[in-house]
Amino acid sequence: MSILHKIGISALQGSVLLFYFHSVGSSQREFYPGGISCEALRQLIEYLHDAGFSFRRLSEAYHSVPEKGNLVAVLCCDDGLASVYHEALPILREYKVPLTVFVVGKCLDNRAMAWNHKLIQICRHASEEQLLPYLQKVCNRYHLRAEAQLSQCLFSVPDSGKDAFCDELWEEFCPTDQSSYLAEHEPFLTLPMMRELSEAGAEFALHSHSHADFSRLDYRQMLHEIRHNRDILSDSGYKPAPFFAFPYGRECDRNLLPNLCREASIKACLGLRYRITDNRQQSPLWQRISLEHCTIPSVKELVLKPALRRVKDALVSLLNDTQSVRQRPV
């Protein structure tokens, strides 16, 4: 390990690093084109092991925030895609690493898809030229400025409108209906898959019922999304860990977080704007490092970047304190 990495790892002592991904390997590339390769996941686990990190589930890391000198890492995955079972589980078993899976309620056991999952499949069957009239249509319907991509445009549409619009496009361009597609491909975790993951040390947490954009919901809608998500998981035999990950990483108004956590019975919400100092037990908002499109060369950089940010913040603070002392009257 280089001197730079040793300095970085030293700066992380007493921290909890949360990493997240969606899919693993190549088996679901057509359903979800992002994710992390199996090789990069192995590299990350081995690198963190060698650096002295211990792996914990999020509920364990939260209730035992490490003392100075300890290093803790948490692996999370969002949406509950089946590649977590097919490709990640053998790796997690090999290294004895636990996992926290954030499940979308409506997608559990392949009952439905969220609008963004539908759109990925639609774009596989329709060209940009074929979708252009629909892009103009949605912009006109919701008085939106035209964006380069349909997905960017749909983020400005109410959630009910997103689903309805994608259903319309699916009927137009996709060769099978959605129920048949889900039954044939099983892109999400089934209940038997979840059982095996649980036996291997995984826990399940909340990711909303419909994969809703919380930056566009009112407070009542947020509570409904989280509570409905919990009810579905509980009815399926799993008591969810009391944590919620914002879909798309789009946070709600931070002033609402203390009340939202209390009324929804969750310990913390998870975002994607990572700073080490955010992950403290008393904070209602914890942050994660994305492993989407992570390659083997970028693994060390992912860990080092927030560490060096902490070193920089400490140096800036030290310089400010020094200047303050010098400016005091003698």
**Listed residues 180, 206, 227: the one ending a domain:** 180
pLDDT digits (tens, 9 = 90+) for 155-196: 888 888 899 999 999 999 999 999 999 999 999 999 999 999
Q: Domain end: 146, 180, 214, which one?
A: 180
Report whether 263 contacts 291 (CB < 8 A): no
Does 325 score more than 50 pLDDT? no
The crossing angle, in degrees rounded to 10, of helices 115-125 and 159-173 is 30
66 and 151 together in one domain? no
**Residue 317 Cα to chain centre, angstroms:** 31
Whether 217 maps to a domain, the answer reads no
Residues 12 and 83 in one domain: yes
Whether 216 is in a domain gets the answer: no
Residues 87, 139 within the same domain: no
Q: Between these two residues, 122 and 275, which has the higher pLDDT value?
A: 122
Confidence band (pLDDT; 50, 70, 90) for 27?
Answer: confident
Output the pLDDT for position 216.
92
Which pLDDT band holds residue 136 (cuts at 50, 70, 90)?
confident
Q: Which residue has the higher pLDDT, 97 or 140?
A: 97
Q: From CA 139, how far away is CA 145, in angstroms rounded? A: 6
Average pLDDT estimate for 91-103:
97
User: Does residue 105 form part of some domain?
Assistant: no
With vertex at residue 28, the alpha carbon angle to CA 249 and CA 91, rounded to the nearest 5 degrees, is 85
| Residue 317 banded pLDDT, cuts 50, 70, 90 | low
What does pLDDT average to over the chain? 86
Check which CATH number belongs to the domain holding 54 and give it. 3.20.20.370
Last residue of a domain, one of 129, 155, 180: 180
Structurally, how many domains does the chain consist of? Answer: 2
101-109 mean pLDDT: 97
Assess whether pLDDT exceeds 80 at residue 58: yes
Are 156 and 93 in the same domain? no
Q: 10 Å Cβ neighbour count for 16?
A: 24
Domain that holds residue 170: 115-180
In a domain, 308, yes or no: yes
**Which residues are within 8 A (CB) of 33 and not within 5 positions of it... i.e. 6 or more apart?**
120
Supply the pLDDT for residue 135. Answer: 86
Higher-scoring residue by pLDDT: 191, 139 = 191
Report whether 203 contacts 77 (CB < 8 A). Answer: no
Q: Is residue 324 part of a domain?
A: no
Same domain? 132 vs 49: no
Instruction: Tell whether 230 is covered by a domain.
Output: no
